[in-house]
Structure 1
Amino acid sequence: MLDRVARVSRWTVLFALILFGAALAGCGKSAAPTPPAPAQPPAKLTLYSAVNEEYMHKLAAEFEKETGIKVEALRLSAGEIVARVRAEKNAPKADVWFGGSADGFIQAKQEGLLEKYVSPQAAAIPARLKDPDGYWTGVYIGYIGFVSNRKLLAEKGIPAPTSWEELLQPKLRGQVVAANPGTAGAAYTMLSTLVQLYGEEKAFQYMKALHGVVKNYPRSAVAAAQMAGMGETTVGVAFLQDAVRFREQGMKDIVITAPREGTGYEIGAVSIVKGTTQMAAAKKFIDWTLTKKAQEIGQTVGAYQYPTHPDAKSPAVAESIRNTKLIDYDFVWAGKNRKRLIEKWNESVKQ
C-alpha cells in the first residue's frame, strides 16, 4: 500500500514539474524582446543639372560629404530637362533640378512639374531672383553675349561684333553658331531677348536673317562658345561665363563682347521635382545650395556665374563682363511664352 502511494506521489511530482517547466518556457517566450525593424536605406537623390559637368559633380560630392546623402547626377541642357521632367511626370525619376535659366522653371511650374518649397535659406536671396510662390529659387546669374575667335576675325578683317545687327554681316556667312532654343537655355534666352527688345514680328524677321549666316544649331550653347575658342567658327552666341571658362582653360584667342543694344540674362535656379519620394533629402539639398558656401563652389571648377547670395564672392576672372548692358528681361513672360516661341521658331526659322 505504501509502495503504491509512493509511486503515485512520484508520478504526481514529475507531472507537476513538467507543467511548471512548460509554464516557465511559455513565460520566457512572451518576454522575448521584439526584433528591431529593418534599417531604412540611406537617402539618395537623383539630380538633373544644366551646369557644366565639373560643377555638377563637385556640387554633388560636397553635398554628400556634408550630409551623407548620396547624389546620382545627370547633366542635360536646360531644354532637355524640361522635356524629360514632363515626359516622366507620371513616374518621376529625378528628385531635384539644379541650373538652367528660370524661363524653363517657370514653364515647368505652369505645367505642374515642380513642388513648392520655401527654404529658410531663401530669405537671403533678393526677391527678384526667386519665384514669389516658392517653386524655384535663383542660385546664379549669367549673361548672353558673343564669343569670337581673334585669329578668324583678323583673317576676315572685321572686329568682334558689338551689336545684334553686326552678326548679320556677309563676312560672317556660315561662321556664326547659335544653339537650338528648344534644347539650349542660352539660345532661348537669346530668342526671348530679341522679342523683348524688338517686338515679336521684327525679332522673327531678324532670326530668319540670322539663319542665313548660321553654321549650325548645336543642342547646347556651351558648344558654340567652345567652337569659337577652338577656331571652328568665328562667332558663337552663348552665356559669357562659358567663354570665360574656356579662355581660362587656355583658349587665348577668345574675344568676349556683348550687344550694345542690351542683352538678356539667366537666373540659374534650383527646384524640387513634383512627385519625389525623397522630399526630406530634396529640401536639404535646396537649403544647402542657397548658402554662401555652396554658391562659391562653382568658381573652383570653372563655373564663373555670379552667385545670388549677397555675401557670396563673385569670380574675379569674370569681373571684365560684370558691366554688360542688360535689358529689363521679363522672366515670367519668357517662361509663359517659351513653348509657343520655340514652336514658332521651329516652324518659321529652322525649316
Structure 2
Amino acid sequence: MDMKKKWISSFTALALVAAMITGCNSNSSSESKSGTEGKPTGKITVYIGLQEDHAVAAMKKFTADTGIEAEMIRMSAGEILAKVRAEKDNPKADVWYGGPADTYVQAVSEGLLEPYKSPIADKIDAKYKDPDGYWTGVYVGAVGFASNKEFLEKKGLEAPKKWEDLLNPAFKGEVVMADPASSGTAYTALYTVLNVMGSEDKGFEYLTKLHPQVQQYTTSGAAPGRMVGMGEAGVGILFAHDIIKYQEEGFKNLVLTIPEDGTGYETGAIGIIKGSKNQELSQKFVDWTLSPEAQELGKTVGSFQNITNSDAVGPEQAVKLDEINTIDYDVAEAGKQRQRLIDKWSTEVK
C-alpha cells in the first residue's frame, strides 16, 4: 500500500513538471507570433498628402519592413488639417504624413499633434524639423511654373521666368493654381509671393492682379500640372517635383521654369496626431519615414522631391536647391500666419 502511494506521488510530480515545460514552450511560441521579437504588430491609419502611387508604395513597404499594417486616406494638406481638427475629440487616424510643414505648425498651435523626437531625426538639418518634435521634415520641394509648349509656340511666348510674367495679358484665363484653403502647395505659393514682392500689401496687390489671369483654383496642389499637360490651360503654379513627375510620366510638352526673382519651398513633414491610440506603432512609422530606405523609395515610384536624411541619396532629376533663388522661407512664421492670410486671400482676392 505504501509503495502504491509512493508511485502515484512520483507520477504526479512528473506530470506537473511536464505541464510546466509545455506551458513555457507554449508561451514562448505565442510571444513570437505576437511580434515581441522587435517587430510589434498591429494597425495604424495614416492621413497622407503624397501623390497616390508614392503613398501606396510607402504603405506596402512599411508593412513589409515592420510587420505593422497601415491603412491610408489620401487628401490635400488643408483637407487633412480640417479633418484632424474636426476629429480632435475622437481621432480616427494616428499619423499625418506629407504636405507642407506650415500646415503642421498651425495644427500644433491648435493642440492637434503629439511631440515625438525620433532618434533618426539627428540626421536631418535643424531647419527642416520642429525643435520640440511635433513634426519632422521628410522632403523639400520648390515652387515652379509649368507651361504648355504648344500654347507658348502658338502665342509666340516664352515660358514665364518671373512672377510678374504671369500678369502678361496673353496669359489671361490661362493660369491654374490650387486654392490655398485646401492646398498646402497653393499656400506655399501665396506666402512666397508676399516675400518676393517685399511686403504683405504689395503681395496682395499682385495676387489681386493675378486673379483675372486664373482660369481655375483647384483643390489639389498637383492638379494644375496635369491640366497644363493636357492643354486645358497655358500655365500652372505648383511644386517643381510634381512638374518633373508629369514630364517623366509622358507630358513632354511641359516646360519647367523656376521664378528667378525668388521662389519658396515646402518642407514636407510627418507628425503624430494627438490622441492616437497607437503611439508605439505611430512612432515606428515616423522612424521608418525618416530612414534612408523610406526616403529613397520616392525615386523608384516617380517622386522627385529633395530628401532630408543626410545619409539618403535623392533623385537625379530633382531641382538643385543651391542653384535656384530661394527665399528665406520661415516655416514657423508661415504656419502662424496661415489662417489669417488664407482668410484675407478668400475675402480680398477670390
After TM superposition, the score normalised by the length of structure 2 is 0.88
Q: Which runs of 4+ in 1 moved over 4 A?
A: 35-42, 319-322
The Cα shift of 1:313 comes to: 1.0
Question: Partner of 2:334 in structure 1?
Answer: 334
Aligned to 1:258: 258
Whole-Å separation in 2 of the counterparts to 1:56 and 1:172: 34
Gapped runs of 5+ residues in structure 1?
Answer: 1-23
Summarize deviations over 1:142-182 as a string: whole Å, max 9, x none.
Answer: 00010000000111111000000010110000000011001
Answer whether contact 2:102 2:338 (CA < 8 A) is retained. Answer: yes
What SS does the aligned partner of 1:221 have?
A: coil
* Greater alpha carbon shift after TM alignment, 90-99 vs 317-326: 317-326
Match of 1:69 in 2: 68
Q: Percent same amino acid among aligned pairs? A: 47
Once residues 107 and 191 of structure 1 are traced to their aligned partners in structure 2, the CA distance between those partners, rounded to angstroms, is: 16
Give the Cα separation in 2 of the matches to 1:201 and 1:321.
28
Tell me the CA shift for residue 321 of structure 1: 7.2
Q: Distance in 2 between matches of 1:323 and 1:241?
A: 15
Aligned to 1:110: 109
CA contact 2:240–2:319 (8 Å) conserved in 1: no
Q: In 2, distance between residues paired with 1:318 and 1:218? A: 24
SS state of the match for residue 46, structure 2?
strand
1:6 is matched with none
> Residue 194 of structure 1: CA displacement?
1.4
Cα distance between partner residues in 2 of 1:59 and 1:237? 26
* Cα deviation, residue 196, structure 1: 2.2
Q: Provide the C-alpha distance between the structure 2 equivalents of 1:203 and 1:319, rounded to a whole number of angstroms.
A: 25
Deviation, 1:324, is 2.3
Q: Which residue of 2 aligns with 1:9?
A: none
Shift of 1:42: 4.2
Aligned to 2:82: 83
Alpha-carbon contact 2:146-2:238 (below 8 Å) kept: yes
How many equivalent pairs are there? Answer: 326
- The question of whether the paired residues in 1 share the 8 Å contact of 2:306 and 2:319 is answered with no
CA distance in 1, matches of 2:212, 2:120: 47
Structure 2 residues not aligned, in runs of 5+: 1-11, 35-39
The SS at the match of 2:287 is helix
1:286 alignment counterpart: 286
User: Secondary structure, in 3 states, of the residue corresponding to 1:209?
Assistant: helix
Question: Which residue in 1 is equivalent to 2:316?
Answer: 316
Structure 2 residue aligned with 1:267: 267
Matches within 5 A, 1:94-243: 94-197=93-196, 198-243=198-243
Q: How far does residue 323 in structure 1 lie from its aligned partner after superposition?
A: 2.0
* Equivalent position of 1:51 in the other structure: 50
CA–CA distance in 2 between the matches of 1:241 and 1:293?
Answer: 19
> Which protein has the larger Cα radius of gyration, Structure 1 or Structure 2?
1
**Can you list the C-alpha shifts for 1:205-230, whole angstroms capped at 9, x where unaligned?**
11111101100000012111111111
